[in-house]
Amino acid sequence: MDFKNTLAFAQQLDKQDPLKELRSKFLLPQHNGKASIYLCGNSLGLQPVSAKEYINEQLANWQELGVEGWFEGNDPWLGYHKKLTPTLSEIVGAKESEVTVMNSLTVNLHLLMVSFYKPDINKYKIIMEAGAFPSDQYAIESQVKFHGYDPKDTIIELFPQNGEETLRTEDILKVISENSDELALVLFSGINYYTGQFFDMKAITKAAHSAKAVAGFDLAHAAGNVPVKLHDWDVDFACWCSYKYMNSGPGGISGIFVHEKHFSDEPLNRFAGWWGYRQDKRFLMAPRFDAETGAEGWQVSTPPIILMALHKASLDMFKEAGGIGVLRVKSELLTAYLEYLLNEINQLKGRQIFKIITPNDKTQRGGQLSIVCAEKAKDIFNYLTQNGVIGDWREPNVIRLSPVPLYSSFEDVFNAGRILCNSIDNI
């Protein structure tokens, strides 16, 4: 598309947008009596208007039914999580039996590593990208120590080549192959939180399996952002949060994926809990754990229904939109327009003030652009905030901006570009 740096052009794109009505179904923060330009869905998605309704329904069930709410009413809590899996499985490209919702992201990462990181004297190493989100780094390091290994010898972190910001797929595959004799697990982000790089999960999984290693992914910045095909790509396990692109509230409930090929794998370790016991016999309170079939067998504790209600409110928005594929079309266009505007600013000012470190290939990124500011980075970020643009700051000089197709408009993107341009002469 031939973009134009005009308000009229942005408004025309909004007029043609088949998803434009969805914006009114989210609550945008206000700035000086007007809606903010919210470009921070990569950190916390916006609240669906329906969220209060969904919560109030469950509060009413609790009020009217008490403990019988687990078994009675229109939405018995015992099976409430099953209402989420049809849409969720479509978002992450899985069979319904391969996904469930439970706990929080890092807790789930630990639980899955209990099952899928099984080091021995020969194969014990883990490959991950350098600069992964700190929580992943801490979880992996602590798991390695738990098994009695030295993280310095066990964890292989992959860095970009000198002078580059992101990893090359061929370099990732090469390191996997070179370490195949000692490799137990490849554990990457789907999308790196800092650079916004969307990794080639299919190729990484295939390489891991060729090395007779397990392939797992943290999809915190990928789930609800980009289409993935966890089942078809033969990924072993994955987990994600729901409060970023899936708009399910701060600290919203997490989800997991376990490929069906592992359902009958008896030697898998598991930190079991009552809620993962087979449902048809759960209330017999029998000794010795007997797992529910599928990903539900990894559940541990009684689910938080209120958090699940928030999650359902957002997932229903994905369903109304027509699915992740439809959203991806708009997302690519929003991100491309933001990229165009940033390049226009550089050209207008005659120097590269804003350097985009996110890949320019749309197949290698989601809805986020990470921007290195060559000068007065924090002042520029503060100027954005003072003028109603909500983005995200990362030390030492990176601004992350993420237009989200469920609620962001092209006019939002245009105005963010205009404010960025004005910041250069006003700080």
Q: Helix or strand or coil: residue 167?
A: coil
Domain termination residue (choose one: 320, 339, 367): 320
pLDDT of residue 266: 78
Q: Are residues 350 and 312 in the same domain?
A: no
Task: Kindly report the CATH number assigned to the domain that includes residue 374.
Answer: 3.90.1150.10
**What is the torsion angle, in degrees rounded to the nearest 10, for the CA atoms of residue 265, residue 268, residue 273 and residue 275?**
-30
Task: Using 50 as the pLDDT threshold, list the residues of the chain that sit under it.
Answer: none
Number of domains composing the chain: 2
Whole-number Å distance between alpha carbons of 333 and 327: 10
Dihedral of CA 351/353/355/361: which sign?
A: negative
Q: Give residue 328's domain range.
A: 7-35+323-426
- Upper half-sphere CA count for residue 329 (Cβ side, 13 Å): 8
Question: Is there a domain that residue 41 lies in?
Answer: no
Task: Kindly report the CATH number assigned to the domain that includes residue 189.
Answer: 3.40.640.10
Whole-number Å distance between alpha carbons of 368 and 2: 21
pLDDT of residue 50: 98
Q: Are residues 235 and 364 in the same domain?
A: no
Q: Are residues 109 and 214 in the same domain?
A: yes
pLDDT of residue 61: 97
Domain termination residue (choose one: 320, 345, 379): 320
Question: Is there a domain that residue 46 lies in?
Answer: no
Q: Are residues 276 and 378 in the same domain?
A: no
Q: Are residues 211 and 355 in the same domain?
A: no
pLDDT of residue 312: 98
Sheet (strand 392-394) strand order:
354-356, 369-373, 398-401, 392-394
Q: Any residues with CB less than 8 A from the CB of 347 and at least 6 apart, and which?
A: none
pLDDT of residue 265: 82
Q: Are residues 69 and 15 in the same domain?
A: no
pLDDT of residue 146: 97
Question: Is there a domain that residue 181 lies in?
Answer: yes
Domain termination residue (choose one: 286, 320, 354): 320
Q: Are residues 314 and 332 in the same domain?
A: no
Question: Closest Cα partner for 215 from 261, 283, 147?
Answer: 261
Beta strand 255-258 with 99-101: parallel, antiparallel or unpaired?
antiparallel
Question: Is there a domain that residue 44 lies in?
Answer: no
Query: Phi first, then psi: what are they for 125, rounded to 5°?
Result: -85, 155
Q: Are residues 134 and 245 in the same domain?
A: yes
pLDDT of residue 217: 98
Q: Are residues 305 and 259 in the same domain?
A: yes
263: tokens are 């359902």
Whole-number Å distance between alpha carbons of 420 and 383: 8
Entry pTM = 0.96
Whole-number Å distance between alpha carbons of 324 and 303: 26
DSSP 372: E
Whole-number Å distance between alpha carbons of 106 and 158: 21
Question: Is there a domain that residue 369 lies in?
Answer: yes
Question: Is there a domain that residue 279 lies in?
Answer: yes
pLDDT of residue 369: 98
Question: Is there a domain that residue 163 lies in?
Answer: yes
Q: Are residues 229 and 327 in the same domain?
A: no
pLDDT digits (tens, 9 = 90+) for 334-355: 999 999 999 999 999 999 999 9
Whole-number Å distance between alpha carbons of 335 and 350: 23
Q: Are residues 211 and 328 in the same domain?
A: no
Question: Is there a domain that residue 304 lies in?
Answer: yes
Q: Any residues with CB less than 8 A from the CB of 197 and at least 6 apart, and which?
A: 166, 167, 191, 358, 359, 364, 365
Q: Are residues 63 and 20 in the same domain?
A: no
Let me know: does 396 contact 366? Beta carbons within 8 Å.
Answer: no
Whole-number Å distance between alpha carbons of 143 and 133: 16
